[in-house]
Amino acid sequence: MSPVIELAEVTKSYPGGVHALRSVDLSVDQGELIAIVGPSGSGKSTMLNVIGTLDRPTTGTVRIDGHDVARLSDRQLSALRASRIGFVFQSFHLAPGRDAVANVADGLLYAGLPKRERERRAEAALVRVGLGDRLGHRPHQLSGGERQRVAVARAVAGDPAVLLADEPTGNLDTVSGQGVMDLLRELNAAGTTVLVITHDHDIAGTLPRQVPMRDGRVV
């Protein structure tokens, strides 16, 4: 089976001689649970953007779920993200005036599904993350941990092959953060490939594989 994520000699440079990624090689098999760990400025967020096809590398090859991203148009990249990649961010990114179901269903807008099917999948995803009793709650009616669970539900509602979680516990207290990490482990046990981007070595140390980064390189 070919890797679900494959980076070969990937660099990402910006004007002014800034090199965010330097000759990065990475191979991730389907079903892995990995921490990409490093201090601020190490390149881990750039790595997330490249793996998530939010940014194209300057040089090198990126393959996601068998697709060479350099060969895809912007439209095809958007379709790949919508169908195969889920994102969880530190700051939730929930619409304040919309309830949990609507926030999750909105993440399926680009999947081309009718409204009722989007809502059905949203409800199922919320039940899956333990929020079956919070379907009609808006973000201000939820705790930080619950808001992050809504964000996780939105990320997995489309059944992605890969889930990318960027500092998913960064805005949470210890207990809520532990709950979110337990949830990511459960999703991984059910077959989802999960990458957690973190600066926290304690969190990284609890995951089966760590990819340490420093100065744009995997070390």
Q: What is the pLDDT of residues 3-24, one digit of tens each?
A: 999 999 999 999 998 999 999 9
CA angle 183, 188, 191 (to 5 degrees): 135
Which regions of the chain does DSSP assign to beta strands (E)?
5-14, 18-28, 33-37, 59-64, 67-68, 85-88, 162-166, 193-198, 209-214, 217-218
Q: What is the pLDDT of residue 146?
A: 94
Strand order in the sheet with 33-37: 85-88, 162-166, 193-198, 33-37, 209-214, 217-218
Question: Nearest to residue 204, comparing CAs of 5, 36, 12, 3?
Answer: 36
Q: What is the pLDDT of residue 52?
A: 95
Q: What is the pLDDT of residue 112?
A: 81
Q: What is the pLDDT of residues 57-86, one digit of tens each?
A: 999 999 999 999 999 999 999 889 988 999
Question: Nearest to residue 187, comparing CAs of 154, 144, 138?
Answer: 154
- Hey, what domains does the chain have and what are their CATH numbers? 32-54+72-213 (3.40.50.300)
| CB hemisphere CA count around 175 (13 angstroms) | 2
Mean pLDDT, residues 120-141 taken together = 95
DSSP three-state, residue 49: helix
Q: What is the pLDDT of residues 96-121, one digit of tens each?
A: 999 999 999 998 987 788 999 999 99
Q: What is the pLDDT of residues 145-181, one digit of tens each?
A: 999 999 999 999 988 999 999 999 888 888 888 988 9
Q: What is the pLDDT of residue 189?
A: 94
For 219, residues 6+ apart whose C-beta sits below 8 A from its C-beta are: 212, 213
**Do 215 and 22 touch, CB atoms closer than 8 A?**
yes
Model confidence band, residue 132 (pLDDT cutoffs 50, 70, 90): very high
Q: What is the pLDDT of residue 87?
A: 93
Cα gap 113→94, rounded to integer Å: 21
DSSP three-state, residue 140: helix
pLDDT for 26 beyond 80: yes
Question: Nearest to residue 115, comparing CAs of 97, 198, 123?
Answer: 123
Q: What is the pLDDT of residues 34-61, one digit of tens each?
A: 999 999 999 999 999 999 999 999 999 9
Q: What is the pLDDT of residue 4?
A: 96
Give the number of other Cβ atoms within 10 Å of residue 197's Cβ. Answer: 26
